[in-house]
Amino acid sequence: MRVLKYFGYTVILCVVVSVLFVLYAPVFGGSQSMESLQRINNSRNFVEGKFANQMATSVSTRSPDRKSSIMDWVFQQDDKNPTKPLPSRLFNSSRLTEGKFAWLGHSTLLMKTNSVVMMTDPVFHRASPVPVIGNPFPVQHPISINDLPAVDAVIISHDHYDHLDHQAIRILSKRVDHFFVPLGVRAHLERWGVDSRNITELDWYESEVYRGVRLTLAPARHFSGRGLWDRDSTLWGSWIISSDSLNVYFSGDSGYSDAFKTIGQRYGPFDIAFLENGAYNLDWAQIHLMPEETVQASIDLKARLLFPIHWSKFDLALHPWDEPAIRLTREATIRNVTVASPLIGEVFDVRNYPETRWWESLRAEIEQIISSLRS
């Protein structure tokens, strides 16, 4: 009985500590100000106390007869993660000149247009609130915040951990001139040290001009939340970044919908579309794009060049790490869609871009290792 009593006390203590951690740890973000709450409540996208997608959307579409379960995550495929550091370029910030881009992994991008340096979804640490989960894959040439050029503006798509890194924001709060975020995300940034005067919140189809660059928040089919009780309390979205010389689309996270076609008709054609391609699952079919849908979305957007993002950095799904690239390039070939595939850290532009399928050599090595282990 004494053992059971101590066990019960331990369970209660763990629950209390966990609840307090979620309630008060800075990583979970901040509470809305009265000004933000007023804007949120006035949004047509805020329905019955939470933000909603333009069409009926389920975070999980698992059917009762599907056999997949927690065991899928326990017994994973041999080729799920890279077996060695991924190839990358040694990033040189001086090469990020006018009209250039650089992919820093996952959904973190640098671009320079109209003499303005912008960065999307800056994530330089893990993709979870706790140290033991969500660490990035190793790369040959890791990129840190100290390697960046002077960044004028940061653009955030939504508040999930693989898109909004609170450690990075704390550092960038003193280095970045302005932050552009969907409705409600301001509260997180303010808690992490960003001056409220340096934050602009937008609703879907609202725009702001920053130093001659027009930034428009557009719909995405997804959801939001960083804690246990804040699901859909902040807005999510995609971004249109337009200057005199470039028209860029950045998807954030999204399931497939007619919004891509609407955005393409309204704001396209795009010189380049950075589209989510990775961390998908059949159970999440309405909130993430499958690779074939990524190709279709680029067609809907009238994009001249497709750049797949949201892959090869974190282990967030059940598929092999390189499957998104394999499936996307196969579909793009069939559909005659042009795909850019630079290495992490490589600087490029919409006229000169690598198309090397760098992941194929790693796939061959992995298959050789698996074959030798089984023989």
Full DSSP string of 125-158:
S-SSSSTTS-PPPPBSS---GGGS----EEE---
Beta strands in the chain, from DSSP E residues, in sequence order: 46-47, 50-51, 101-103, 109-113, 116-120, 153-155, 178-182, 199-202, 206-210, 213-218, 238-242, 247-250, 272-276, 306-309, 347-348
- Give 2's pLDDT tier (boundaries 50, 70, 90): low
Output the six-digit token pair for 8. Answer: 């019960």
| 41 lies in some domain | no
pLDDT tens digits, one per residue of 29-53: 999 989 899 999 999 999 999 999 9
Q: What is the pLDDT of residues 129-178, one digit of tens each?
A: 988 899 999 999 999 999 999 999 999 999 999 999 999 999 999 999 99
Q: What is the mean pLDDT of residues 89-117?
A: 98
Kindly state the tokens that stand for 271: 């010189």
**pLDDT for 210-255, tens place per residue?**
999 999 999 999 999 999 899 999 999 999 999 999 999 999 999 9
| Residue pair 246/222 in contact by the 8 Å Cβ criterion | no
List the one residue out of 311, 289, 285, 310 whose CA is nearest residue 301: 289
User: Is 125 exposed, middle or buried (CB count within 10 Å of its CB: 0-12, 13-18, 19+)?
Assistant: middle
> Per residue in 245-302, pLDDT tens?
999 999 999 999 999 999 999 999 999 999 999 999 999 999 999 999 999 999 999 9
**Is 57 inside a domain boundary?**
no
Q: Is the pLDDT of residue 23 over 60?
A: no
276 forms beta bridges with 309
pLDDT of residue 312 exceeding 70, the answer is: yes
Residue with more model confidence, 367 or 340: 340
Residue 265 inside a domain? The answer is: yes
For residue 372, what are the contacts with CB-CB under 8 A and spacing of at least 6? none
Convert 17-50 to b/e letters by CB count within 10 Å (16 or more is b).
eeeeebeeeebbbbebeeebeebbeebebbeeeb
* Among 122, 163, 135, 147, CA closest to 347: 147
In a domain, 12, yes or no: no
In-domain check, residue 40: no
**Secondary structure letter of residue 87 according to DSSP:** P
344's CB contacts (< 8 A; 6+ apart) are: 86, 88, 89, 103, 104, 105, 139, 141, 143, 312, 313
- Assess contact for 39 and 33: CB atoms under 8 A: no
The CATH number of the domain where 261 resides is what?
Answer: 3.60.15.10
Strands 116-120 and 153-155: parallel
Q: Please give the pLDDT value at position 340.
A: 98
- Expressed in angstroms, the distance from the first to the final Cα of the chain is 52
Domain that holds residue 271: 85-374
Spell 282-309 as b/e; 16+ CB within 10 A means b.
ebbbbbbbbbbbbbbbbbbbbbbbbbbb
Adjacency order of strands within the sheet including 101-103:
199-202, 178-182, 153-155, 116-120, 109-113, 101-103, 347-348
Give 185's DSSP letter. T
Domain count within the chain = 1
Q: With CA atoms as reference, report the closest residue to 145 among 161, 124, 166, 173.
A: 124
Letter string b/e over residues 345-368, b meaning 16 or more CB atoms within 10 A of that residue's CB:
bbbbbbeebeeeebbeebbeebee
